[in-house]
Amino acid sequence: MRNMTVVMAVSVLVCGAILSGCGKLSTEEFEGWRSEYVASNDKAFADMDGRASKLESGLDQQKSDLSQSIEDARDDAIAASQLGDADTIKRSEQFAMGEDAKLRDELMGAVNAAGESAQSFAKSEDDKLRKSISSLEKQANSTAQSVSDLESDLMAAKKELADAMAVKAMSAATVQFASGKTGLSSEAKAMLDKAVASIKAHPHAVVVVSGHADGTPVLSGKYRSNWDLSQARANSVANYLKESGVTNEIKTLARGHTMPAANVNTKDGRAANRRAEVVVYPPGTMPAGM
């Protein structure tokens, strides 16, 4: 305001100088004009001061209102921010819940898929196992049948062997001797000649010659007992077979008077008991202990 007053004063002086320069205005007129002008200017200045004061008051009020508005706006912003944070937190919680539910669904889906895959795999493996078991059962049945067939074949072979033993373990000849004698008669040699051909037909068979006595006590001669006599008769037959070309294994046995073929109390019976028997045993048919 002081600047404005100075400006106005300067203006008055300038105007006075201008008017004075014209030379038409007296001092009294100038003073009257100046007083009127000053009064008018003072009023104008007073009015201007009033308006300025009002303007300053308005500005202060505006400043106060603006400050309050700013404060209110700040509070509103804080409240809005807090509300926004709450909404954000709520939205975050809702999002987290949604994601958690989604994750649970995904996990359950993965678990169910894994379970289905495991069940499918187990079923596949179970089918494979069943097929393997079925195959093994078939193989076992086939093996059992094969074993059964082999057992049948073995039984048949045993029967054939038994039959072969019964047929091939044969008596080739039986020759008689005179009382107390070991020499072969012509009739005995003839019988042994026939036996030789039969024995040679079985080159791997074992020939067993058993000598027998009639049970009459040996009282003299070179033989001390019926055992020695029966052994000598078996040896006599074995030697003749070897001389006749028999190459088979020959075993001789002394039976004494323990295995009579006839009644020992008759003459004919005792004659029948003075004998040597020739039996042919193919391989595997020899009785145990012989």
pTM over 0.95: no
Q: Is the pLDDT of residue 21 over 70?
A: no
pLDDT digits (tens, 9 = 90+) for 42-81: 777 777 777 767 767 776 777 777 778 777 767 776 675 5
d(CA 38, CA 127): 125
Task: Give the residue with greater pLDDT, 142 vs 25.
Answer: 142
pLDDT digits (tens, 9 = 90+) for 228-242: 999 999 999 999 999
Helix H, strand E, coil C: the string for 119-168 is HHHHHHHHHHHHHHHHHHHHHHHHHHHHHHHHHHHHHHHHHHHHHHHHHH
pLDDT digits (tens, 9 = 90+) for 160-189: 655 554 546 799 999 999 999 999 999 999
